[in-house]
Amino acid sequence: MKLLLKILGVFIILAIHVDATAQAIRWPKPVQPSKQEIYTKTRQVNVKFSPVGFQFGYSFGTIPNYYTNDFFQFEVGQIRHPKELSSGIQNLKSSISRGFYKNYSYGKQNSLFTARASKGKRVYWSDKTTVKSVQIGYTYKYGVSLGMLKPYYIQIIEEEQGFYNRELKDIKYSEEIREAFLDEENIFGKSSFSKGLGEMKVMPGVHAQGGLLFDWGQDSKTILATEVGLMMDFYFSSVPLMVDQSSKPFFLNLYVSVQFGRRH
């Protein structure tokens, strides 16, 4: 855990150093004033995809100079264990062979939902010289996270008297009922989302993200961008997501986000 904290610390220190360096550079400006230069604020929404989850975010900020955008961002989403996808394909095949199917993730113990509050910066390397041209740059952000760990409930078949007459029971994982929880032949599917809401646990943490930015906006006022980068989430205690998989406090993932917004 000490090693992970050191890695995250180095990442944040580098981000702050880049920020200071970027502010010290005197970026060349176009000879003729651009409409972009009169904009002072920006607002946008984003949808982020990664191999282990998705997030929805909203950011707002200021435009101190032609090439820079300082912003705050709020983001919510879910983090999944990499094994969850493969387990979903596995239970699909098993359920079809039994003649019924209700979606669930085999071996899943908990669901992790997260909310992030970030401070960040976007720095552009190029101008939007013509209409429909691409503006290229980089972005980074860091801040605090609030994870919510929700027990994952499944329905098992307690009694079956024909295809349409089954008595089901909702259970969550514990060592005492491990065998029943992992008995694939007796699992009917996942329980309703409301099961376990009252048992959620708070998981505080921190995060850092950074990547390349490509703004495809039709004009200087419109933001239509793609961001590709790396995100790190660190929680102050280990997060158990899957049975028979080691729990860890640290998640490192690639991501792609699509952003829509306006400068004004």
Let me know if residue 30 belongs to a domain.
no
Query: What are the tens digits of pLDDT across the range 81-97?
Result: 888 866 555 555 555 55
**Domain assignment of residue 252, given as a range:** 2-25+40-263
Distances (CA, A) of 139 to 68, 147, 197, 211, 231: 10, 24, 35, 6, 12
Handedness of CA 199, 205, 210, 215 (dihedral sign): positive
Let me know if residue 168 belongs to a domain.
yes
Let me know if residue 114 belongs to a domain.
yes
Let me know if residue 159 belongs to a domain.
yes
Query: What are the tens digits of pLDDT across the range 174-202?
Result: 999 999 999 988 888 889 999 999 999 99
Let me know if residue 145 belongs to a domain.
yes
Let me know if residue 61 belongs to a domain.
yes
Name the domain count of the chain: 1
Q: What is the pLDDT of residue 30?
A: 41
Let me know if residue 91 belongs to a domain.
yes
pTM across the whole model: 0.79
- The arithmetic mean of pLDDT across residues 55-62, rounded, is 96
- The arithmetic mean of pLDDT across residues 45-60, rounded, is 93
* Residues forming a β-bridge with 216: none
Three-state DSSP state, 231: strand
Q: What is the pLDDT of residue 27?
A: 42
